[in-house]
A and B are shown apart, each in its own frame.
Chain A
Amino acid sequence: MDELRADPDEPGDGRTSEHSDPEAGGEAAFRHRIEPRSRTEYAADLEQRSVSGWAPDGARVDAPAEVLRRFEPRRAGLPEVSADQAAAYLDAHRAERPWLAAADGCRPEVQRIFAALDQGGGHAHVRHEGWVTEEMNQRRVAYLEDPAQLDLAKRAVGIDGILSGNQLHRCGSIATRITNPEAFAAAVTRGVEHPDVRAALETSFKERRAPGQVILPIADLLGSHGYRCCTGWQLDTVDGSMKTARERRDAFAEALARRTIPDGPEPRARPVRTFDGGTIIFTFGPNHGRNGYEIVTMYVNPPERAAGRDTR
Protein backbone atom coordinates (compact mmCIF):
# COMPACT_ATOMS: atom_id res chain seq x y z
CA MET A 1 0.00 0.00 0.00
CA ASP A 2 2.95 2.32 0.58
CA GLU A 3 3.48 2.80 -3.14
CA LEU A 4 0.00 4.29 -3.33
CA ARG A 5 0.86 6.78 -0.64
CA ALA A 6 4.21 7.69 -2.13
CA ASP A 7 3.11 9.11 -5.47
CA PRO A 8 4.57 12.62 -5.64
CA ASP A 9 1.62 13.83 -7.69
CA GLU A 10 -0.84 12.91 -5.00
CA PRO A 11 -1.56 14.26 -1.54
CA GLY A 12 0.26 11.61 0.44
CA ASP A 13 0.51 13.87 3.47
CA GLY A 14 -2.93 13.13 4.73
CA ARG A 15 -4.87 15.41 2.43
CA THR A 16 -7.93 13.52 1.34
CA SER A 17 -10.70 14.05 -1.13
CA GLU A 18 -12.09 16.50 1.43
CA HIS A 19 -9.35 18.81 0.16
CA SER A 20 -9.62 18.16 -3.54
CA ASP A 21 -11.32 20.60 -5.81
CA PRO A 22 -13.47 18.84 -8.37
CA GLU A 23 -14.33 22.18 -9.94
CA ALA A 24 -10.73 22.74 -10.92
CA GLY A 25 -10.05 21.95 -14.54
CA GLY A 26 -7.55 19.68 -16.20
CA GLU A 27 -6.30 16.27 -15.26
CA ALA A 28 -7.18 16.58 -11.58
CA ALA A 29 -10.84 17.20 -12.37
CA PHE A 30 -10.89 14.31 -14.82
CA ARG A 31 -9.36 11.96 -12.27
CA HIS A 32 -11.83 13.12 -9.62
CA ARG A 33 -14.75 12.18 -11.86
CA ILE A 34 -13.31 8.70 -12.37
CA GLU A 35 -12.19 8.09 -8.76
CA PRO A 36 -13.35 10.66 -6.19
CA ARG A 37 -11.10 9.24 -3.48
CA SER A 38 -7.56 10.48 -3.00
CA ARG A 39 -4.81 7.90 -3.28
CA THR A 40 -4.39 7.79 0.48
CA GLU A 41 -8.10 7.28 0.98
CA TYR A 42 -8.12 4.58 -1.66
CA ALA A 43 -5.09 2.91 -0.05
CA ALA A 44 -6.80 2.85 3.34
CA ASP A 45 -9.96 1.35 1.82
CA LEU A 46 -7.89 -1.26 0.03
CA GLU A 47 -5.93 -2.17 3.16
CA GLN A 48 -9.14 -2.45 5.18
CA ARG A 49 -10.67 -4.60 2.49
CA SER A 50 -7.68 -6.92 2.22
CA VAL A 51 -7.42 -7.47 5.99
CA SER A 52 -11.04 -7.64 7.11
CA GLY A 53 -12.88 -8.47 3.90
CA TRP A 54 -14.96 -5.32 4.31
CA ALA A 55 -17.04 -4.46 1.26
CA PRO A 56 -18.16 -0.81 1.16
CA ASP A 57 -21.59 -1.60 -0.23
CA GLY A 58 -21.83 -5.23 0.73
CA ALA A 59 -22.68 -5.20 4.43
CA ARG A 60 -26.34 -5.04 5.33
CA VAL A 61 -28.24 -5.89 8.48
CA ASP A 62 -31.85 -6.50 9.17
CA ALA A 63 -33.23 -3.14 10.29
CA PRO A 64 -36.99 -3.38 9.79
CA ALA A 65 -38.90 -0.11 9.64
CA GLU A 66 -41.02 -1.13 12.62
CA VAL A 67 -37.88 -1.47 14.74
CA LEU A 68 -36.58 1.93 13.66
CA ARG A 69 -40.00 3.52 14.20
CA ARG A 70 -39.88 2.37 17.81
CA PHE A 71 -37.11 4.85 18.50
CA GLU A 72 -38.36 7.41 20.99
CA PRO A 73 -35.93 10.33 21.18
CA ARG A 74 -37.22 11.43 24.59
CA ARG A 75 -36.30 8.05 26.07
CA ALA A 76 -32.72 8.77 24.99
CA GLY A 77 -32.81 12.29 26.43
CA LEU A 78 -33.18 13.80 22.95
CA PRO A 79 -35.74 16.22 21.50
CA GLU A 80 -38.76 14.70 19.79
CA VAL A 81 -38.42 14.80 15.99
CA SER A 82 -41.01 13.87 13.36
CA ALA A 83 -40.05 12.39 9.99
CA ASP A 84 -40.87 15.70 8.27
CA GLN A 85 -38.90 17.70 10.78
CA ALA A 86 -36.00 15.31 10.35
CA ALA A 87 -35.83 15.82 6.59
CA ALA A 88 -35.98 19.58 7.04
CA TYR A 89 -33.29 19.45 9.74
CA LEU A 90 -30.93 17.43 7.56
CA ASP A 91 -31.46 19.81 4.64
CA ALA A 92 -30.85 22.85 6.81
CA HIS A 93 -27.70 21.61 8.53
CA ARG A 94 -25.98 19.33 6.05
CA ALA A 95 -23.54 21.98 4.84
CA GLU A 96 -21.99 22.77 8.21
CA ARG A 97 -22.48 19.28 9.69
CA PRO A 98 -21.20 16.95 6.97
CA TRP A 99 -21.73 13.79 9.04
CA LEU A 100 -25.46 14.21 8.37
CA ALA A 101 -24.78 13.31 4.74
CA ALA A 102 -24.58 9.69 5.91
CA ALA A 103 -28.38 9.74 6.20
CA ASP A 104 -28.90 11.05 2.66
CA GLY A 105 -31.08 8.68 0.72
CA CYS A 106 -31.95 6.66 3.81
CA ARG A 107 -35.47 5.81 4.88
CA PRO A 108 -37.32 8.50 6.87
CA GLU A 109 -37.06 6.34 9.99
CA VAL A 110 -33.26 6.42 9.75
CA GLN A 111 -33.16 10.13 9.00
CA ARG A 112 -35.29 10.80 12.06
CA ILE A 113 -32.77 9.01 14.30
CA PHE A 114 -29.86 10.96 12.85
CA ALA A 115 -31.71 14.27 13.22
CA ALA A 116 -32.56 13.50 16.84
CA LEU A 117 -29.01 12.41 17.70
CA ASP A 118 -27.58 15.52 16.10
CA GLN A 119 -29.62 17.72 18.43
CA GLY A 120 -28.22 16.04 21.52
CA GLY A 121 -24.77 16.27 23.01
CA GLY A 122 -23.55 12.84 21.93
CA HIS A 123 -20.99 12.26 19.20
CA ALA A 124 -21.58 8.63 18.17
CA HIS A 125 -22.97 9.64 14.77
CA VAL A 126 -20.09 12.08 14.27
CA ARG A 127 -17.09 9.84 15.00
CA HIS A 128 -18.33 6.26 14.81
CA GLU A 129 -20.57 6.13 11.79
CA GLY A 130 -20.35 5.78 8.03
CA TRP A 131 -19.45 9.32 7.05
CA VAL A 132 -16.03 8.68 8.62
CA THR A 133 -13.81 7.11 5.98
CA GLU A 134 -11.31 4.33 6.55
CA GLU A 135 -8.51 6.83 6.13
CA MET A 136 -10.04 9.19 8.68
CA ASN A 137 -10.16 6.42 11.28
CA GLN A 138 -6.63 5.31 10.39
CA ARG A 139 -5.38 8.86 10.92
CA ARG A 140 -7.48 9.33 14.03
CA VAL A 141 -5.85 6.41 15.80
CA ALA A 142 -2.35 7.06 14.44
CA TYR A 143 -2.15 10.86 14.77
CA LEU A 144 -5.17 11.89 16.88
CA GLU A 145 -6.77 13.63 13.91
CA ASP A 146 -10.41 14.10 14.89
CA PRO A 147 -12.98 13.46 12.15
CA ALA A 148 -15.30 15.88 13.95
CA GLN A 149 -12.78 18.70 13.43
CA LEU A 150 -13.79 20.38 10.18
CA ASP A 151 -10.95 22.91 10.20
CA LEU A 152 -8.34 20.81 8.44
CA ALA A 153 -5.38 22.77 9.77
CA LYS A 154 -6.60 22.18 13.31
CA ARG A 155 -7.35 18.54 12.54
CA ALA A 156 -3.78 18.03 11.36
CA VAL A 157 -2.39 19.13 14.74
CA GLY A 158 -4.84 17.10 16.77
CA ILE A 159 -7.31 19.76 17.93
CA ASP A 160 -10.60 18.25 19.05
CA GLY A 161 -13.62 19.17 16.92
CA ILE A 162 -16.19 18.99 19.70
CA LEU A 163 -14.50 20.17 22.90
CA SER A 164 -14.13 23.92 23.21
CA GLY A 165 -10.88 25.80 23.74
CA ASN A 166 -8.61 24.08 21.22
CA GLN A 167 -8.13 21.04 23.44
CA LEU A 168 -6.15 18.12 22.09
CA HIS A 169 -8.27 15.31 20.75
CA ARG A 170 -8.30 12.05 22.69
CA CYS A 171 -8.51 8.60 21.21
CA GLY A 172 -7.67 5.20 22.62
CA SER A 173 -5.70 2.51 20.85
CA ILE A 174 -8.53 1.84 18.41
CA ALA A 175 -10.96 3.84 16.25
CA THR A 176 -14.04 2.11 14.89
CA ARG A 177 -17.28 2.74 13.09
CA ILE A 178 -20.51 1.14 11.97
CA THR A 179 -20.26 1.59 8.23
CA ASN A 180 -23.93 1.39 7.34
CA PRO A 181 -26.36 4.13 8.50
CA GLU A 182 -29.29 1.73 8.77
CA ALA A 183 -27.25 -0.62 10.95
CA PHE A 184 -26.13 2.33 13.04
CA ALA A 185 -29.74 3.49 13.49
CA ALA A 186 -30.80 -0.04 14.43
CA ALA A 187 -28.02 -0.27 17.02
CA VAL A 188 -29.12 3.02 18.55
CA THR A 189 -32.77 1.98 18.65
CA ARG A 190 -32.16 -1.44 20.15
CA GLY A 191 -29.51 -0.09 22.47
CA VAL A 192 -31.81 2.55 23.91
CA GLU A 193 -34.38 -0.18 24.59
CA HIS A 194 -31.91 -2.46 26.37
CA PRO A 195 -32.59 -2.71 30.12
CA ASP A 196 -29.01 -1.89 31.10
CA VAL A 197 -28.93 1.20 28.89
CA ARG A 198 -32.36 2.21 30.16
CA ALA A 199 -31.15 1.90 33.73
CA ALA A 200 -28.21 4.16 32.94
CA LEU A 201 -30.35 6.76 31.18
CA GLU A 202 -32.91 6.75 33.99
CA THR A 203 -30.35 7.15 36.77
CA SER A 204 -31.27 10.08 39.01
CA PHE A 205 -29.06 12.98 38.07
CA LYS A 206 -26.34 14.09 40.44
CA GLU A 207 -23.66 16.63 39.65
CA ARG A 208 -20.19 15.12 39.03
CA ARG A 209 -21.57 11.60 38.75
CA ALA A 210 -22.25 9.53 35.67
CA PRO A 211 -23.49 6.00 35.01
CA GLY A 212 -20.86 3.44 34.07
CA GLN A 213 -20.38 2.07 30.56
CA VAL A 214 -22.71 -0.58 29.22
CA ILE A 215 -21.07 -3.16 26.97
CA LEU A 216 -23.38 -5.32 24.84
CA PRO A 217 -22.64 -7.98 22.21
CA ILE A 218 -22.86 -6.69 18.64
CA ALA A 219 -24.97 -9.74 17.82
CA ASP A 220 -27.59 -8.73 20.41
CA LEU A 221 -28.20 -5.41 18.68
CA LEU A 222 -27.38 -6.12 15.04
CA GLY A 223 -27.90 -9.85 14.65
CA SER A 224 -25.39 -12.60 14.02
CA HIS A 225 -24.02 -10.95 10.86
CA GLY A 226 -24.01 -7.41 12.23
CA TYR A 227 -20.26 -7.49 12.75
CA ARG A 228 -19.86 -7.27 8.98
CA CYS A 229 -21.03 -3.65 9.18
CA CYS A 230 -18.15 -2.75 11.48
CA THR A 231 -14.64 -1.63 10.64
CA GLY A 232 -11.82 -0.23 12.70
CA TRP A 233 -8.14 0.61 12.93
CA GLN A 234 -5.89 -0.14 15.84
CA LEU A 235 -2.38 0.90 16.73
CA ASP A 236 0.39 -1.47 15.85
CA THR A 237 1.97 -2.73 19.04
CA VAL A 238 5.48 -1.57 19.94
CA ASP A 239 7.79 -4.31 21.23
CA GLY A 240 4.69 -6.44 21.58
CA SER A 241 2.95 -3.93 23.82
CA MET A 242 -0.18 -1.94 23.04
CA LYS A 243 0.36 0.14 26.17
CA THR A 244 3.74 1.26 24.88
CA ALA A 245 2.28 1.95 21.44
CA ARG A 246 -0.47 4.05 23.00
CA GLU A 247 2.01 6.03 25.11
CA ARG A 248 4.32 6.70 22.15
CA ARG A 249 1.41 7.68 19.91
CA ASP A 250 0.31 10.30 22.43
CA ALA A 251 3.86 11.67 22.67
CA PHE A 252 4.11 11.80 18.88
CA ALA A 253 0.79 13.63 18.55
CA GLU A 254 1.65 16.06 21.32
CA ALA A 255 4.86 16.94 19.50
CA LEU A 256 2.89 17.59 16.32
CA ALA A 257 0.48 19.77 18.28
CA ARG A 258 3.42 21.81 19.59
CA ARG A 259 4.67 21.99 16.01
CA THR A 260 7.93 20.33 16.99
CA ILE A 261 9.59 17.31 15.44
CA PRO A 262 8.53 14.14 17.26
CA ASP A 263 11.35 12.15 18.87
CA GLY A 264 10.01 8.69 18.30
CA PRO A 265 9.05 6.71 15.24
CA GLU A 266 5.81 7.46 13.47
CA PRO A 267 2.87 5.49 14.88
CA ARG A 268 1.38 2.87 12.62
CA ALA A 269 -2.19 1.61 12.52
CA ARG A 270 -3.66 -1.48 10.94
CA PRO A 271 -7.20 -2.62 10.23
CA VAL A 272 -9.08 -4.69 12.77
CA ARG A 273 -9.34 -8.17 11.32
CA THR A 274 -12.86 -8.97 12.53
CA PHE A 275 -15.62 -7.76 14.81
CA ASP A 276 -17.19 -11.22 14.98
CA GLY A 277 -17.82 -11.75 18.70
CA GLY A 278 -17.27 -8.08 19.44
CA THR A 279 -19.25 -5.62 21.50
CA ILE A 280 -20.91 -2.21 21.37
CA ILE A 281 -19.96 0.16 24.16
CA PHE A 282 -22.36 2.82 25.42
CA THR A 283 -20.89 5.71 27.38
CA PHE A 284 -23.00 8.20 29.34
CA GLY A 285 -22.70 11.74 30.57
CA PRO A 286 -24.79 14.70 31.73
CA ASN A 287 -27.21 16.15 29.20
CA HIS A 288 -27.17 19.83 28.17
CA GLY A 289 -29.74 20.73 30.82
CA ARG A 290 -27.71 18.92 33.48
CA ASN A 291 -30.87 17.32 34.76
CA GLY A 292 -30.40 13.84 33.34
CA TYR A 293 -28.05 11.59 31.40
CA GLU A 294 -27.64 10.90 27.72
CA ILE A 295 -25.58 8.57 25.55
CA VAL A 296 -22.32 10.41 24.97
CA THR A 297 -21.14 7.87 22.47
CA MET A 298 -21.72 4.38 21.15
CA TYR A 299 -18.98 2.50 19.35
CA VAL A 300 -18.07 -1.00 18.33
CA ASN A 301 -15.15 -2.90 19.81
CA PRO A 302 -13.62 -6.12 18.43
CA PRO A 303 -13.27 -9.29 20.50
CA GLU A 304 -10.20 -9.13 22.70
CA ARG A 305 -7.93 -11.36 20.68
CA ALA A 306 -8.65 -9.44 17.51
CA ALA A 307 -7.93 -6.21 19.37
CA GLY A 308 -4.40 -7.40 20.06
CA ARG A 309 -4.36 -6.09 23.60
CA ASP A 310 -1.59 -7.08 25.97
CA THR A 311 -0.87 -7.24 29.62
CA ARG A 312 2.59 -5.77 29.56
Chain B
Amino acid sequence: MNEAYWAKNPSAPFATLIAVAATYCHPEAYGGAYADLIDRARSPEPDDDEIQVFKGQLTEALADPSRLPDDELFKAVDYGDGSDERFLRRLWRDLYGDEPMAGS
Protein backbone atom coordinates (compact mmCIF):
# COMPACT_ATOMS: atom_id res chain seq x y z
CA MET B 1 0.00 0.00 0.00
CA ASN B 2 1.18 3.50 -0.82
CA GLU B 3 2.26 4.97 2.52
CA ALA B 4 2.17 8.59 1.39
CA TYR B 5 0.12 10.82 3.70
CA TRP B 6 -2.35 11.74 0.98
CA ALA B 7 -2.65 8.18 -0.34
CA LYS B 8 -3.40 6.63 3.04
CA ASN B 9 -6.26 9.06 3.54
CA PRO B 10 -7.18 11.25 0.57
CA SER B 11 -9.59 13.22 2.72
CA ALA B 12 -6.99 14.00 5.39
CA PRO B 13 -6.42 17.71 6.09
CA PHE B 14 -4.55 19.44 3.28
CA ALA B 15 -4.01 16.11 1.49
CA THR B 16 -4.21 17.66 -1.98
CA LEU B 17 -1.94 20.57 -1.10
CA ILE B 18 0.69 18.24 0.29
CA ALA B 19 0.37 15.74 -2.57
CA VAL B 20 0.73 18.37 -5.29
CA ALA B 21 3.58 20.11 -3.49
CA ALA B 22 5.41 16.79 -3.12
CA THR B 23 4.96 15.97 -6.79
CA TYR B 24 6.22 19.30 -8.12
CA CYS B 25 8.36 20.91 -5.41
CA HIS B 26 10.43 18.09 -3.89
CA PRO B 27 14.13 18.23 -4.81
CA GLU B 28 13.82 14.79 -6.42
CA ALA B 29 10.92 15.86 -8.68
CA TYR B 30 11.50 15.69 -12.43
CA GLY B 31 13.33 18.50 -14.21
CA GLY B 32 10.87 21.24 -15.08
CA ALA B 33 8.31 20.11 -12.50
CA TYR B 34 8.09 23.45 -10.71
CA ALA B 35 7.66 25.30 -14.01
CA ASP B 36 4.89 22.86 -14.93
CA LEU B 37 3.12 23.60 -11.65
CA ILE B 38 3.36 27.32 -12.24
CA ASP B 39 1.85 26.91 -15.72
CA ARG B 40 -0.79 24.57 -14.43
CA ALA B 41 -1.80 26.95 -11.65
CA ARG B 42 -1.80 30.08 -13.79
CA SER B 43 -3.71 28.56 -16.69
CA PRO B 44 -5.82 25.79 -15.20
CA GLU B 45 -7.68 23.53 -17.58
CA PRO B 46 -11.44 23.36 -17.03
CA ASP B 47 -11.28 19.72 -15.94
CA ASP B 48 -8.38 20.23 -13.53
CA ASP B 49 -10.26 19.86 -10.28
CA GLU B 50 -7.10 18.96 -8.39
CA ILE B 51 -5.45 22.33 -8.99
CA GLN B 52 -8.59 24.12 -7.82
CA VAL B 53 -8.64 22.10 -4.61
CA PHE B 54 -4.92 22.73 -4.25
CA LYS B 55 -5.42 26.47 -4.51
CA GLY B 56 -8.19 26.41 -1.93
CA GLN B 57 -6.09 24.41 0.51
CA LEU B 58 -3.08 26.65 -0.09
CA THR B 59 -5.22 29.64 0.80
CA GLU B 60 -6.47 27.92 3.95
CA ALA B 61 -2.98 26.91 5.00
CA LEU B 62 -1.64 30.41 4.51
CA ALA B 63 -4.46 31.83 6.59
CA ASP B 64 -3.38 29.64 9.51
CA PRO B 65 -0.26 27.49 8.95
CA SER B 66 -0.65 25.96 12.40
CA ARG B 67 -3.58 23.95 11.01
CA LEU B 68 -1.22 21.93 8.82
CA PRO B 69 -0.73 18.38 10.12
CA ASP B 70 2.47 17.95 12.12
CA ASP B 71 5.52 17.98 9.87
CA GLU B 72 3.68 16.35 6.95
CA LEU B 73 4.43 19.19 4.54
CA PHE B 74 8.15 19.19 5.28
CA LYS B 75 8.32 15.40 5.19
CA ALA B 76 6.66 15.39 1.78
CA VAL B 77 8.46 18.33 0.18
CA ASP B 78 11.78 18.68 2.05
CA TYR B 79 11.81 22.37 1.22
CA GLY B 80 14.66 24.77 1.97
CA ASP B 81 12.61 27.76 3.04
CA GLY B 82 12.97 27.22 6.78
CA SER B 83 9.29 26.96 7.73
CA ASP B 84 5.95 25.83 6.36
CA GLU B 85 4.74 29.41 6.20
CA ARG B 86 7.72 30.69 4.22
CA PHE B 87 7.45 27.79 1.80
CA LEU B 88 3.73 28.42 1.30
CA ARG B 89 4.26 32.15 0.80
CA ARG B 90 6.89 31.50 -1.85
CA LEU B 91 4.58 29.02 -3.52
CA TRP B 92 1.71 31.50 -3.63
CA ARG B 93 3.95 34.26 -4.93
CA ASP B 94 5.41 32.04 -7.68
CA LEU B 95 2.08 30.56 -8.71
CA TYR B 96 -0.34 33.40 -8.28
CA GLY B 97 1.81 36.51 -8.06
CA ASP B 98 -0.04 39.48 -6.64
CA GLU B 99 -3.43 37.82 -6.78
CA PRO B 100 -5.08 38.31 -3.40
CA MET B 101 -5.93 35.17 -1.51
CA ALA B 102 -9.61 34.33 -1.29
CA GLY B 103 -10.99 35.67 1.96
CA SER B 104 -8.10 38.04 2.52
Of the residues A244, A246, A296, A310, contact of B29 by C-beta under 8 Å: A296
The distance in angstroms between the C-alpha atoms of A279 and B33, with both chains bound, is: 23
The distance in angstroms between the C-alpha atoms of A215 and B7, with both chains bound, is: 9
Q: Which size class do B's interface residues fall under?
A: 20 to 34
The reply on A62 being an interface residue by CB < 8 A is no
The reply on A162 being an interface residue by CB < 8 A is yes
The reply on B82 being an interface residue by CB < 8 A is yes
The reply on A20 being an interface residue by CB < 8 A is no
The reply on A213 being an interface residue by CB < 8 A is yes
- B49-88 interface code vs A (CB 8 A; 1 in, 0 out): 0000000000000000000001100111011111100000
**A311:B71 contact, CB within 8 angstroms:** yes
> Interface SS of chain A: helix, strand, loop or mixed?
mixed
**A247:B28 contact, CB within 8 angstroms:** no
Query: Which residues on the B side are within 8 Å of A173 (C-beta)?
Result: 78
**A243:B1 contact, CB within 8 angstroms:** no
List the interface of chain B (C-beta within 8 A of A). Answer: 1-4, 6-7, 19-20, 22-24, 26-31, 33, 36-37, 39-40, 48, 70-71, 74-76, 78-83
Q: How many inter-chain contacts with C-beta < 8 Å in the A-B complex?
A: 95
Given contacts A284-B30, A309-B71, 12 further A-B contacts (CB under 8 A): A162-B31, A196-B1, A196-B7, A213-B4, A215-B7, A243-B79, A244-B82, A247-B80, A283-B28, A283-B30, A286-B30, A311-B71
| CB nearest neighbor in B for A217 | B3
- A269-311 interface code vs B (CB 8 A; 1 in, 0 out): 0000000000101011110000000001101000010000111
The distance in angstroms between the C-alpha atoms of A284 and B82, with both chains bound, is: 26
Of the residues A211, A214, A246, contact of B78 by C-beta under 8 Å: A246
> For residues 79 through 124 of chain A, which have their beta carbon under 8 Å from a beta carbon of chain B?
121
* Distance from A198 Cβ to chain B, minimum over Cβ atoms (Å): 12
* Distance from A246 Cβ to chain B, minimum over Cβ atoms (Å): 5
Query: Which residues on the A side are within 8 Å of B79 (C-beta)?
Result: 243, 246
The reply on A223 being an interface residue by CB < 8 A is no
The distance in angstroms between the C-alpha atoms of A281 and B2, with both chains bound, is: 9
**B30:A285 contact, CB within 8 angstroms:** yes
**A163:B30 contact, CB within 8 angstroms:** no
Query: Which residues on the B side are within 8 Å of A244 (C-beta)?
Result: 82
Q: Which size class do A's interface residues fall under?
A: 35 or more
Query: Which residues on the A side are within 8 Å of B24 (C-beta)?
Result: 210
The distance in angstroms between the C-alpha atoms of A207 and B22, with both chains bound, is: 18
The distance in angstroms between the C-alpha atoms of A285 and B33, with both chains bound, is: 8
The reply on A208 being an interface residue by CB < 8 A is yes
The distance in angstroms between the C-alpha atoms of A259 and B93, with both chains bound, is: 28
Query: Which residues on the B side are within 8 Å of A210 (C-beta)?
Result: 23-24, 29-30, 33, 36
The distance in angstroms between the C-alpha atoms of A297 and B30, with both chains bound, is: 8
Q: List 28 A-B contacts (CB under 8 A).
A: A171-B27, A172-B27, A172-B28, A196-B1, A196-B2, A196-B7, A207-B36, A209-B36, A209-B40, A209-B48, A210-B23, A210-B36, A212-B7, A213-B23, A213-B76, A214-B7, A215-B7, A216-B1, A216-B2, A243-B74, A244-B82, A246-B78, A247-B80, A247-B81, A247-B82, A283-B30, A297-B28, A311-B71
